Amino acid sequence: SLSDREIRTLATRVYDLPLDLQTLTAMEQIMKDCAKELPKEYVLEPPTETYYDKEMPLVTKYLALHCDPLISLMNKTQQGKHKY
């Protein structure tokens, strides 16, 4: 699962810097919306992790891999890079 800091680090890789609170909140909202679409057994409450947003579900690998808007944001960062 991703911690609050790891979510912020992911946001810095996906969005242009400097990162503001509105952009970070928008990314967290994407994750919350994706969690609503998943089956209940895959949406976990954070047992030990405390997020800035108290309504944020635990961001697991399953959630990240099944969240199409998040995947498209991550894929945009990989476009246009040349190997050599």
Whether residue 49 lies inside any domain: the answer is yes
Helix, strand, or coil (residue 59): coil
- Compute the mean pLDDT over every residue in the chain, rounded to the nearest whole number: 84
Whether residue 83 lies inside any domain: the answer is no
Q: Which domain holds residue 48?
A: 4-77
What is the pTM for the complete model shown? 0.78
Please enumerate in sequence order all residues whose Cβ is within 8 A of that of 67, keeping only pairs 6 or more positions apart, or say none. Answer: 30, 31, 34
Please enumerate in sequence order all residues whose Cβ is within 8 A of that of 62, keeping only pairs 6 or more positions apart, or say none. Answer: 38, 42
pLDDT score of 68: 93
pLDDT score of 30: 92
What are the tens digits of pLDDT across the range 32-56?
999 888 887 777 776 666 777 778 8
Residue-by-residue DSSP string for 17-55 = SSP-HHHHHHHHHHHHHHHHHS-GGG----SS---SSTT
Please tell me the least confidently modeled range out of 41-50, 59-68, 75-84.
41-50
Whether residue 21 lies inside any domain: the answer is yes
Between these two residues, 24 and 46, which has the higher pLDDT value?
24
